[in-house]
Structure formats: C-alpha cells, structure tokens
Amino acid sequence: MFVGLTGGIGSGKTTVAGFFKKLGVPVYHSDDEAKKLMHTPRLRQEIERIFGNSAYKNDQLDRKFISDQVFEDKSLLQRLNGIVHPAVREDFNKWAGAQNSPYIIQEVAILFENNLQENFDLTILVTAPEEVRIDRVMQRENVKKKAVIARIRNQWSDEYKLPLADFVINNIDLDDTQKEVREINVKILSRRINT
C-alpha cells in the first residue's frame, strides 16, 4: 500500500515522517532524493541544457540561481519538473519494490498541486497555523519573514488541500502529533487487513 505524505512549507511533514519511521514504516523523501538525482550525469546534462552552465557551481546545483530563473519564467519550472519528476517516480518505484512492509510512505511537498494523489492508496496532510510555519522556516533557514510568506503564497492553502486528504495531522504540539501518527498507523494497518 502506498501512502502520500504532504504539507506546506514549515508544516512539519519531515517531523511527521520521522515519527512514522520510528514505527518501522519505510519513508521515501522525494525532495532529498530529487536533489541527489539532479547530480547524476543524465539529469545534470538535461538541466544544463535548459539553464546553461550556470546551473551548477563548484560541482553543486546552484539552487538560488535555478529558483531565481523559474520564479521569473514558469515555463522553465515546467521543463525542470518534466525532467526531475519522472526520474523521482522511477527511483521511488525501484525503492518501493525493495521494501518489505505492510505500507510505505512517500513524502511529497506538492502532492496535490501536481495532482499526484492518484498514485497513492491514501494521503496524509500535515498542517500548522501560518504564523507557526513562518517561525519554523525563519529559524530553520535563517531567512526573512517576507521570503517565507512569498513561498507560502506560492503553494496551495491548507483549506484547498483538506478535502483531498484521507488523514490530517495538525502539527503544533509534538506529543499530540506523535499520538496522531500512532493512531493513523493503526487505521492504515487495519484498512490494509480489511481490503
């Protein structure tokens, strides 16, 4: 069984993923794996074809350069996604085939925005109040509030995503969040037994 885990920036989806891992659930972190894949020769060549040699600096992907480019030109973002998303999907499928667990989780930042819910048996949405999310990202990335708000506005609101999710975790208090994760784990396992 495939479960998609998503949430807006600063919602704490990685924290939630960690709680599932503690329960023995395998978790695939799409963003982390995408970063690795973007350094493989095949993807690097394709990315440089779109963005030029400035896409990589000191043999590392220049994330600021790329994000500035795609912010200015949404067609570049579509082209980049057209390269990276299929590679991540292929990598995930290989990884999933090697797992031996009642269910596995794929953490995907923009799952609903990319209409990927069809790829999953169930979805989990992690939410948190906007001010909490802003504070988390400011502390984690040492960026200004204005920059975080701009990134939040670039994603769908929780209100838009809520009806699409099978489970919702409001991640404010870590003890409560961990309890919710345990409860959802039991529900997923019982659902799997009953199907």
Percent of the chain predicted with pLDDT > 70:
98
CATH superfamily membership of 1-26+102-195: P-loop containing nucleotide triphosphate hydrolases (3.40.50.300)
What's the pLDDT at 113? Answer: 86
Structure confidence at residue 83 as a pLDDT band (50, 70, 90): very high
CA angle, 135 then 138 then 143, to 5°: 155
pLDDT average, residue stretch 155-168:
92
How many whole angstroms separate alpha carbon 88 and alpha carbon 178? Answer: 28
How many whole angstroms separate alpha carbon 123 and alpha carbon 105? Answer: 9
Q: Is domain 31-98 classified as CATH 3.30.465.10? A: no
How many whole angstroms separate alpha carbon 151 and alpha carbon 134? Answer: 10
In this chain, the answer to whether the domains covering 1-26+102-195 and 31-98 adopt an identical fold is yes
**How many CB atoms neighbour CB 133 within 10 A?**
23
pLDDT tens-digit profile of 55-74?
999 889 988 888 888 877 88
